Amino acid sequence: MNTFIASLLKVERALARGKGAFALFAAFLREDGLGKWDLVISAPWVERDWEAALRLISTRVQAALKPEQLLSISRIARVEPASPEVAAIHREFPVARLPVETWGRSFFGMAMRHAPVFASARQDTATQRRPSPARTMQPMRRKLARG
């Protein structure tokens, strides 16, 4: 996995832990995009306050990427979680842990040269916050403490 994709994966995971899961978090390198990436996001919390979400995501992406990587991003685009296009991506790429990368595909009616999909979850599951590792380990710790 190259550093650009690894850095975006870290951004997605951190934002999902803090704000809630994404219905879609992907980077699309369009065939006609002059070598620039579109960061495509979809989440209920993004829909509630797009301006605040855009500021937060932009800040996190800027902090995570090297300057030359940052220059390769054309835009951050949002898509409604309930859109048919997002549902089609969910059916094809149910991403749980690692990003799924695909080449030479079409999404949203556009030809993509490369498309790493970092998160793809139906809206009903995307609205649930991911539990923190500390919270998920509490029952195990209690059980171990009791012996």
Task: Identify which of 81, 95, 99 has the alpha carbon closest to the alpha carbon of residue 28.
Answer: 99
Distance of CA 119 to the CA centre of its chain: 5
Q: What tens digit of pLDDT does each residue of 54-98 get?
A: 999 999 999 999 999 999 999 999 999 999 999 999 888 876 666
Q: What range defines the domain where residue 122 resides? A: 3-146
Indicate the number of domains in the chain.
1
- In whole angstroms, how far apart are CA 25 and each of 52, 56, 84, 147? 17, 14, 16, 42
DSSP 94: -
- Whole-model pTM: value is 0.79
The CA distance from 83 to 20, in Å, is 19
